[in-house]
Amino acid sequence: MKVKKQKRHRKTVRFFSVCFGFRQPFKVLCDGTFVHHLLVNNITPADTALSNCLCAPIKLFTTRCILAELKTLGASYSHSFQAANKLTTARCDHEKRKGADACILDVIGQNNPEHFFVATQHVDLRNKLQEVPGVPLIFALRNALFLEPPSSFQRQFVKASEEKRLHMTEKDHKLLERKTRGLLENEDVAQSNDVEGLESLDPGLQVHNTRKHSTGKELGVKDRVQFKRKKAKGPNPLSCKKKRSHEKPNPSSVKESKGDNIVRRSRRRKRPRRDKSIAGADKDSK
């Protein structure tokens, strides 16, 4: 079951990172109920537990309104207030103090510009945030953490945004029409200038409109696909053996002088060999 849960969580994280631009380290906005549940069920340290849930590094955040609400709950939530006070405080721009749910909804806004993961145990708050695009939700059951899959509203929002990207808007269509008109006008002006220049050189010359009567051959476009026939190639010269010369080499080396073009032959002087017996007698006489 743990492997299946990790696969579901990775799939959900990939959905939000690809479709809504979430980047690591992920920001997790925790409310008081979630912090209290972690302490009661001994899910500590919270950052390692959440990083294991999301399979990525994280940063924990809270708000001033959440801290103020925990402080008013009394001594039973004193440990939760101390733990939440150690988290990074996210900026909430409201003059008067609000409730935790209203503060989180105000920070998230209409499209979650800060890319927060919201960790809460409030079911009503989770149902409200499911109708906001780009808000992943985290909740806890006993000693286990769960990442909710994207809602049907979020999936439909992603599908509609992809279809908008594929189709051209009216503004883009008008810009394209203006550019095409300008290009056509420039081509007409250039063609008229060429015609006037030819008529000035030869007034009896008839000029045809090549734009209307242009064919595929003139543009260099072939009507049918032409296949190249493979020609017979010779053998690879590296794989062939070298031819052996059957002529006998001359024992005498021939030297040619380049300046006089005269062939000179070097002759070796043949000396008579003495017999071994005569050579031994000469050594004994010495």
**In contact, 43 and 145? CB cutoff 8 Å:** yes
Higher per-residue confidence, 9 vs 253:
9
**In contact, 153 and 130? CB cutoff 8 Å:** yes
How many percent of the chain have pLDDT more than 90?
A: 46
pLDDT above 80 for 77: yes
Query: How many residues does this entry show for the chain?
Result: 286
The mean per-residue pLDDT over the stretch 228-243 comes to 81
What's the number of CA atoms in the CB half-sphere (13 Å) around residue 2?
A: 4
Task: For residue 2, count other CB atoms closer than 10 A to its CB.
Answer: 7
Residue 147, SS3 per DSSP = strand
The mean per-residue pLDDT over the stretch 34-62 comes to 93
**In contact, 255 and 264? CB cutoff 8 Å:** yes
What amino acid is encoded at 125 in this protein?
Answer: L
The mean per-residue pLDDT over the stretch 37-44 comes to 92
Residue 215: the pLDDT is 46
**In contact, 138 and 162? CB cutoff 8 Å:** no
CA–CA dist 99, 119 (Å, integer)? 16
127 contact partners, CB below 8 Å, separation of at least 6: none
Helix (H) or strand (E) run with residue 152 in it: helix 152-166
The tokens describing 71, both together, are 């402080």
> Which residues partner with 59 through β-bridges?
27
The mean per-residue pLDDT over the stretch 61-72 comes to 93
pLDDT above 90 for 198: no
Helix (H) or strand (E) run with residue 158 in it: helix 152-166
Task: For residue 33, count other CB atoms closer than 10 A to its CB.
Answer: 22
> Which residues partner with 30 through β-bridges?
119
